[in-house]
Amino acid sequence: MKENYILLVEDNADDVALTLDAFQQSHIANRVEVVRDGAAALERLFGLADTAAARPAVVLLDLKLPKVDGLEVLRRIRAEPSTKRLPVVILTSSREERDLLASYDLHANSYIRKPVDFDQFMTAVQQLGLYWLLLNETAP
């Protein structure tokens, strides 16, 4: 049975805590699994024999990550047949145009800039969870 979990790729511990809090506040019960760098994310997605079971419902991906950056992670996800349709949401501090363009060029499903204001951040994460976990139908 495939578990409908969220993979959060985020190196900043505080952002992890805040994101988890936001999910909890919006009563999203799905498990959130956290990896702290790009290499760990790739390991998590492709390291296991059963890649289908390892596949999350959605990947929340930061762009600036230690070791392997977010765009490279996205590139590898799209290059792999088992994950090429996997929903990936970029969740980053950057609002640089080149990051936006690069992310969409690599077929990111969505691009969200983390607001400094926590209330806005909360709203963003809640809507994110609701949309990708409840409303969106993923490819089989």
Partner 1 sequence: MSSKLFDPTIIGTADQALDFIGNVLESSTAYSIIGQDLDGKILLWNEGAHRLYGYEPDEVVGRANTSILHVPEDVRVGKHEQIRADALRDGKWEGVVSRLRKDGSRFTASVVVTPRRDSTGLPIGYLLISKDITAEVRLTAQLKAAQFYARSLIEVSLDPLVTISAEGKITDVNEASVQATGVPRGKLIGTDFSDYFTEPDKARAGYEQVFRLGVVRDYPLELRHREGRVMSVLYNASVYRDERGKIAGVFAAARDVTERKQAERITAARLRLREVAAASDLEGVLQATVNEAELSTGSAIGYYHFLQADQRTLSLQASSTRTGDGFSTTQAGGLHYDIDQVGIWADCVRQRQPVVRNDYATLPSHQGMPAGQTKVLRELVVPVFRGEQIVALLGVGNKATDYDEKDVQAVSLLADLGWDIAESKRASEELQRSERSLREAQRLALIGNWELDLVRDALTWSDEIYRIFEIDPTEFGASYEAFLAAIHPDDRESVNRAYTDSVRDRTPYSIRHRLRMKDGRIKYVQERCETFYDAEGRPQRSIGTVQDVTDRQHAEDALRLANAYNRSLIEASLDPLVTIGPDGKIMDVNTATESATDHTRAELIGTDFSDYFTEPAKARAGYEQVFREGTVRDYPLELRHRDGSVMSVLYNASVFKNERGEVSGVFAAARDITARKRTEAEILRLNSSLEQRVRERTSELEAVNRELESFAYSVSHDLRAPLRSIDGFGRILLRDETAALSAQGRANLERIRAATQRMATLIDDLLQLSRTVRSEFRRTSIDLAAMARAIAGELDAVDPARRVTWRIASALPVHADPALMRLVLENLLGNAWKFTGRKAEAEIEFTGTEHHDEKVFCVRDNGAGFDMAYANKLFGAFQRLHSAEEFPGTGIGLATVQRIVHRHGGRVWAESAVGVGTCFYFTLPKGELGT
Which of 96, 134, 131 minimizes the C-alpha distance to 113?
A: 96
With contacts defined by CB under 8 A, how many residues of the chain interact with partner 1? 28
* Backbone angle region of 41, left / alpha / beta, with phi > 0 → left and psi within -120 to 50 → alpha: alpha
20: Cβ–Cβ under 8 A, 6 or more apart, which residues?
Answer: 8, 32, 34
Distance CA 10, CA 127 (A): 19
By CB under 8 A, residue 84 contacts partner 1: no
By CB under 8 A, residue 114 contacts partner 1: yes
Quick one: 75 or 85, whose CB is closer to partner 1? 75
Answer for which of 11, 61, 83, 89 binds partner 1 (CB under 8 A) is 11
By CB under 8 A, residue 26 contacts partner 1: no
By CB under 8 A, residue 20 contacts partner 1: yes
Tokens coding 40: 């760990």
Beta carbon of residue 46, minimum distance to partner 1 (angstroms, whole number): 17
Beta carbon of residue 138, minimum distance to partner 1 (angstroms, whole number): 25
Beta carbon of residue 129, minimum distance to partner 1 (angstroms, whole number): 14
Residue by residue, DSSP assigns 1-24 as -----EEEE-S-HHHHHHHHHHHH
By CB under 8 A, residue 118 contacts partner 1: yes
Contact set with partner 1 (CB under 8 A): 11-18, 20-21, 24, 63-64, 66-67, 92-96, 114-119, 121-122
